[in-house]
A and B are shown apart, each in its own frame.
Chain A
Amino acid sequence: MKHARILTTALAIGLAPIAAEAQSMSPMRGEVNSFSDAFAVRIFPANPYDRKIRVEIHVYDQDFQPVDARISPKVFQLASQASRPVLVVVPFDGAPERKVRICTESIPFPNQQTQIRAQICGKFFGRRKS
């Protein structure tokens, strides 16, 4: 089981781009084969602003219902022009495959009358191998 998790993580790392600077979130598409009861995706949210922003990571299903995924870290501060890896582990919940959206959300200018929340969502497909 431990080896399977390591392999799953390794597959997810394979999705990681070589350079993730100047992107709001990368990658935005991915397919993962997993030998365990969950699949892992490593994403790279980035802050294109010239100021620090608070970033939240959320996982939704195809109907935009929240998915109980393990996100590390889920909420964090991101420095200007910076990017950092976030590991998302999505359970299959007994299904042989699962499609999810992993979204990077931020409100760069809070406490204003009409706020805009920027949401960048990637679509990921996990397939369970036996």
Chain B
Amino acid sequence: MSDMKHYEAIIIGGGSAGLAAAVSLKENGISDIVVLEKDGEAGGILQQCIHNGFGLQTFKEQLSGPAYAERFIKKATELGVTVKTDTMVTKLGADKTVEYVNAEEGCVKASADAVILAVGCYERPRGAITMTGDRCAGVYTAGQAQKYLNIDGYLVGKRVFILGSGDIGLIMARRMTLEGAKVLGVAEIMPYSNGLPRNIKQCLEDFDIPLFLSHTVTKTFGKDRLERIELVKVDENKNPIAGSEQYFDVDTLLLSIGLIPENHLSDEIGITMDRSTKGPVVDDRYMTSCEGIFACGNGLHVHDLVDFVTLQAARAGKGAAEYIRDKSKQRGEAVRVSAGENVGYTVPSFVHPTDAADDVEFFFRVNQPLENAVIKVMSGGAEIRSIKKKKIIPSEMERVLLKKDVIAGLSGEVTISVEVLS
């Protein structure tokens, strides 16, 4: 571990966010960078998302996940980005040192002027929810079943039930149906779906797969392999309603019950986390509370569209480039941007009015479906922006842009809220 190598930037994670950040760093004049990717190839989770629908915003066309990834891999390669694959980061230091391990180099410690966390997220496992019963084979997270099918080439089962209406679950309902499995239903504990409307239409309705809203799976049965599940209706407090039990004989249960940003690296160095996103709190450059460490992608907050990942990661790359070029620059007092009524969180959470070089786009989600609503941005009691929305739902990330001159004029905390028009 002697002779510590120094880079201008180390990007942890070579998925959609890491690649976009790397490309952006290069385009912003930072050349000495490296991407550390744990998997055998770059592209991240996109590689197993073989369905269409990626890139409508970025490329104005419908691409599959691997095709979308390929465009960035190609771009990164053309720009001379080094991607170390099969390389796992084992430790991150607040001093921007990174320890990683791979088969060729062994254990290596490197340092950088800036570190970009593009670490992705993981699927909530069964143990995180109250589902009792046997712990037999046949229960998978949706993404795990997707990997088995799309990467490894194996179907996990023939009679399937899906808990959670997250997008991966919906996509897998269609995918497994097309491969000959019978999907008996999708249960969602909330009274509304957590997936994108287009996926509800294209993956469930088009295949006559029932969606059970305000329902959950409470029990699994099966000694060796799953044989049956118990589905119940829940009340407004998400508690099971006695007597509403239904049973489905299935060999497979897929869980699509939420994604959690992977943040043990940032946790270990005490980076400030957002309780709602479960990712780091960042400013307009996507810098975390730890100077010189940036975050983007699903490790920052979970996205529904890869296009937004790309957009934010590019901004993080540009932010890191600005930081690397002038590390001693004082950016002045930060102004907090917080979530108001009906809004779960905002990203970023801080702006710097005295150093407002760019327009800033804020991303947020509402915490319940709303109709006939208005997005309001307020600061110091005054309304800065308002945008009318016919319908706004938690599964779709919203955004609102503030011009740089507006940001430069901010004096107090900014609140983004969504109000329903009477």
Question: Are these two chains actual partners, yes or no?
Answer: no
